[in-house]
Structure 1
């Protein structure tokens, strides 16, 4: 008799191979890989925000990849595979190869058939979700990816700001999932912190920290911005701990190592989205502004 745990993993492994091949081809074909990476992270971020509402808060469905022993983590990990790899990777692929509405509708059919197969294999189940929602939302999601890519190319200020926010949010969400999986952090109310509470609170924590980090890095990736984010992170953690909303088991050295590395990465994300400004460029910009003000006066 086949091991049911191994059987559950197989569909997810097959889809992982298929969709990583698709994103690999997308980067191979793309001339602007920096913009493509930004688009990918933004697509994942949008999917994570939707998943937070649909899965974490309202428990629309349940994943059963049987990869992680604890069911709650296994469910969230299944969602990460779906919303962090399968769907966003396909959305980016559809944008790169310029698939039209017919192709996007077929993409909706493709994910609908996957969903029906997963239901039949019992590696996924509906609570209140309906397959028709998938059929409708997937083509719209693919179209949003197209629009986002166009606006990124036009250097739209709002789109670039939101993209940077989503890049940081995705990283924070994945880090916090890893910390929870290794029992380093746990959010909740009261003496006993349930994992259900944790996965409702932790995205709000990640959103708050990501938004502050985005605003801090908006003008420039410098030491002042990095220090602001580090102090904000420490302060936020201390507030949560004093309110007994956060329990953590980090050694001080490990905590600061992870946080400093993450902050440097967010600075790199900022440069990726906005470009690196040299000291000379900043001085030229300031000179132009000064001359403009002198003329007006």
Structure 2
């Protein structure tokens, strides 16, 4: 069986937990969805440090020829879909620590299976580390669910921030992987794909801060125009300095419209889901 089919099965498992959680949630559905979005956004931050910067492990999905893109694709299936889906299930069904241990054991078992099948490879990472961080993630998800009920302004800010991060990083990866739209060249790593992923992820983590304030407090047509102009100027400087290379069919103006699109979609998600938490 091709490697990528195993990862698609993993995605189906994640979707199952999402649907099951929504149907059986003991908390408002908007809060359950919010927990998934937040944990997925957190997963991107975790993977940036552990996976991209520190080279902890790699996935062998067999979908892309480029190993870093292929490995990142596998990371999205695992860390940005399945783990947040189980976090959502634990928090929304208010499951106790025994369930948390059981789910951690399940995912550790899947990790060992993927290692044996050659779908996944450890560098310095070890499976017990996975169990430890899973228990931490499950605990954060349960704590986040409690914080949502208090309706604090800071928790609303982070709900939106992690959601914007999730959208930014997902869109950026799929544009690069499937459309070869752009590449960043900061010169941090010898591998050009890793180099691009490392800088772009950091860029979107920082960029998401002002966009969060914009969406939450100053969402006007002129604010979006200011965002467009500011991004256009930054991307122009990056292109002229050689840090950004836009591929055929792309230009600075088109590329600068992407953050505006993310801001618009984040505003809708915030209005429809996050504000109801």
Given the two structures, how large is their TM-score scaled by the length of structure 2? 0.90
Tell me which residue corresponds to 1:285.
none
Tell me which residue corresponds to 1:280.
none
1:164-218 deviation per Cα after TM superposition (whole angstroms, max 9, x unaligned): 111111111011112211211100136x981121011011111121111012223
Is the partner of 1:189 in helix, strand or coil?
Answer: coil
Distance 2:133 2:33 in 1: 23
1:65-120 deviation per Cα after TM superposition (whole angstroms, max 9, x unaligned): 11222222110100011111111111101111111011111111111111111111
Q: Do structure 1's residue 13 and structure 2's residue 11 form an aligned pair?
A: no
- Higher CA-based Rg: 1
Tell me which residue corresponds to 1:231.
229
- Written as runs of structure 1 = structure 2, the 5 A alignment for 1:56-205 is 56-181=52-177, 182-189=179-186, 194-205=192-203
| 8 A Cα contact 2:10 2:78, kept in partner | no
Tell me which residue corresponds to 1:263.
263
Unaligned runs of 5+ in 2: none
Which deviates more, 172-181 or 225-234? 225-234
Distance 1:274 1:219 in 2: 14
Q: Shift of residue 251 of structure 1?
A: 4.4
| 8 A Cα contact 1:151 1:159, kept in partner | yes
Q: Do structure 1's residue 208 and structure 2's residue 203 form an aligned pair?
A: no
Is the partner of 1:162 in helix, strand or coil?
Answer: helix
Distance 1:251 1:227 in 2: 18
| 8 A Cα contact 1:186 1:246, kept in partner | yes
Distance 1:199 1:256 in 2: 18
1:33-83 deviation per Cα after TM superposition (whole angstroms, max 9, x unaligned): 332222211000111101000010011001001122222211010001111
Unaligned runs of 5+ in 1: 1-5, 277-297
C-alpha distance 222-33 of structure 1, shift in aligned 2 (>3 A): farther
Tell me which residue corresponds to 1:245.
243
Distance 2:274 2:131 in 1: 35
Q: Shift of residue 152 of structure 1?
A: 1.7
1:236-287 deviation per Cα after TM superposition (whole angstroms, max 9, x unaligned): 21232232211113146744654443221122234246649xxxxxxxxxxx
Q: Shift of residue 9 of structure 1?
A: 2.2
Distance 2:8 2:180 in 1: 26
Is the partner of 2:2 in helix, strand or coil?
Answer: helix
Q: Shift of residue 221 of structure 1?
A: 2.9
Q: Which has the higher contact order (CA 8 A, sep 6+)?
A: 2
